[in-house]
């Protein structure tokens, strides 16, 4: 290169910049400006890769650098790395390759979120020691007992009656002693039952009171056994963790309340999708279990419909809710 190129020089010690010209000759990079001149061997110079039409930084020894035009090039051998860099640059400055790359990235991200993360969480969850999962469940129950749950007010006879039917249901699931039924009361939570990691199921007095017969209670518990069988709580923890890492990688560092909200919204919506998938899996397993026990699936549908009507549910769009629409589940 024998043509002088205009550049901006920084000495690397101060913020002052100066206009210079650079010239490559005799294996040296010559930098000349007003009252300033230096020559550096090309072996000690590094030119950053080109990015579109942005100015490029030319690093010199001792921390100095020059900003040069985007089309500035150092003499290089026609080796593979140089050819690859030129190919990448050509792709970056053309719309078609950029759009194709964007589509590939989006499709890959979608496939990872929809299929990759759940599949990986399922594999990992089934390899975690049951004792670890039971420990998580014990800690979760202790916390809930402190902040949300109260001792049951069901009589010992009523508890024994429901526990006996539950043991029959659990035996048909193949889990046997792997699931344990506990009774609690919680006016704040209302008529509900839930599964904790490690096989602990909690049924609330409020649900027992709302059920019109024990078959409705068993129908709900069959659904909860489905959560235990599929290890949904543990998988949900793993998926939420992986999703958080993935969204941080995609959206970058969150430095303000506004950007945090922008990042949290897609994370919440994707997490809600995972929850709906878990509920569908638990429904499917629960229905199969009800069939084995000779309990009509309609008991689950009637209880679900009644609870939704009582709570005024169904007002949220399906893509926001953590549960599938009740009408879908009833069908």
pLDDT in tens, the chain (331 residues): 567 899 999 988 888 899 999 998 888 999 999 888 999 998 889 988 887 788 999 999 888 999 999 888 888 644 445 566 667 766 766 788 778 888 998 898 888 888 888 888 889 888 888 888 889 889 999 999 999 899 999 999 999 999 999 999 999 998 888 899 999 999 988 898 998 888 999 999 999 999 999 999 999 999 999 999 988 888 888 888 887 777 777 766 555 544 444 445 455 555 566 688 888 999 999 999 999 999 999 999 999 888 888 766 555 444 445 666 777 777 7
- Are 195 and 50 in the same domain? no
Question: Domain for residue 29, yes or no?
Answer: yes
Same domain as 311, residue 182: yes
State pTM to two decimals: 0.65
pLDDT of 97 reads: 79
Q: Looking at the structure, do residues 239 and 308 belong to the same domain, yes or no?
A: yes
Q: Which residue has the tokens 């985007």?
A: 70
Rounded Cα distance, 320 and 117, in Å:
20
Does residue 114 belong to any structural domain of this protein? no
Say if residues 178 and 231 touch (Cβ distance below 8 Å): no
> What integer pLDDT is reported at residue 86 of this predicted model?
67
Distance of CA 17 to the CA centre of its chain: 45
First to last CA, the chain: 76
Domain assignment of residue 81, yes or no:
no
Domain check: are 279 and 131 in the same one? yes
Instruction: Give the pLDDT score at 261.
Output: 47
Residues spanned by the domain of 38:
5-71
> Do 326 and 186 fall into the same domain?
yes
* 281 located within any domain: yes
Q: Answer whether 221's CB lies under 8 Å from 285's CB.
A: no
Please indicate, yes or no, whether residues 208 and 315 belong to a single structural domain of this protein: yes
Backbone φ/ψ region at 176: left (φ over 0), alpha (ψ -120 to 50), beta: left
For position 212, what pLDDT does the model report?
Answer: 94
- Amino acid 9: pLDDT: 93
Asked whether residue 217 is assigned to any structural domain, the reply reads: yes
Both 58 and 138 in a single domain? no
Indicate if 55 and 157 belong to the same structural domain: no
Which pLDDT belongs to residue 112?
Answer: 87
**261 belongs to a structural domain:** yes
Order the strands of the 200-204 sheet from edge to edge: 150-151, 180-185, 200-204, 193-196
Same domain, residue pair 65 and 128: no
Quote the pLDDT of residue 319. Answer: 42
- Tokens 């979760």 correspond to 140
Q: Are strands 5-10 and 17-25 parallel, antiparallel or unpaired?
A: antiparallel
pLDDT the model gives residue 322: 61
- Whether 199 and 295 map to the same domain: the answer is yes
Q: Which of 71, 94, 111 is the last residue of a domain?
A: 71
159, 220: one domain: yes
Torsion of CA 283, 285, 289, 295, to 10 degrees: 20
Can you give the pLDDT at residue 205? 96
Number of domains in the chain: 2
CA–CA gap between residue 243 and residue 260 (Å, rounded):
15
167 and 315 in a single domain? The answer is: yes
Q: How many CB atoms lie within 10 A of CB 233?
A: 22
The whole-number pLDDT of residue 172 equals 93
């Amino acid at each position: 290169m024998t043509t002088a190129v205009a550049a901006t020089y920084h000495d690397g010690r101060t913020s002052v910049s100066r206009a210079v010209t650079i010239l490559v000759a005799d294996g040296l990079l010559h930098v000349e400006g007003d009252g300033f001149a230096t020559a550096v061997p090309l072996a000690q110079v590094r030119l950053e890769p080109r990015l579109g039409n942005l100015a490029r930084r030319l690093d010199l020894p001792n921390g100095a650098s020059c900003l040069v035009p985007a089309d500035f090039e150092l003499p290089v051998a026609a080796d593979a790395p140089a050819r690859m860099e030129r190919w990448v640059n050509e792709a970056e400055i053309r719309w078609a390759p950029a759009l194709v790359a964007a589509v590939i990235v989006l499709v890959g991200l979608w496939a990872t979120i929809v299929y990759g993360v759940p599949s990986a969480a399922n594999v990992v969850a089934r390899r975690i020691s049951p004792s670890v999962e039971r420990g998580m469940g014990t800690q979760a129950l202790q916390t809930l007992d402190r902040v949300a749950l109260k001792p049951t007010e069901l009589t010992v006879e009523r508890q024994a009656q429901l526990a006996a039917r539950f043991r029959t249901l659990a035996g048909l699931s193949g889990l046997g002693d792997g699931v344990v039924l506990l009774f609690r009361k919680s006016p704040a939570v209302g008529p509900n039952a839930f599964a904790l990691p490690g096989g602990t199921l909690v049924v609330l007095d409020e649900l027992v009171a709302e059920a019109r017969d024990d078959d409705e209670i068993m129908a709900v518990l069959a659904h909860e056994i489905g959560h235990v069988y599929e290890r949904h709580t543990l998988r949900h923890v793993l998926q939420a963790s992986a999703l958080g890492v993935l969204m941080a990688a995609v959206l970058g560092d969150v430095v303000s309340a506004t950007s945090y909200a922008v990042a949290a919204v897609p994370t919440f919506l994707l997490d809600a999708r995972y929850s709906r998938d878990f509920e569908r899996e638990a429904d499917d397993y629960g229905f199969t279990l009800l069939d084995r026990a000779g309990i009509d699936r309609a008991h689950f549908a009637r209880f679900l419909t009644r609870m939704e009507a009582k709570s005024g549910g169904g007002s949220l769009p399906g893509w926001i809710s953590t549960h599938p629409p009740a009408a879908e589940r009833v069908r």
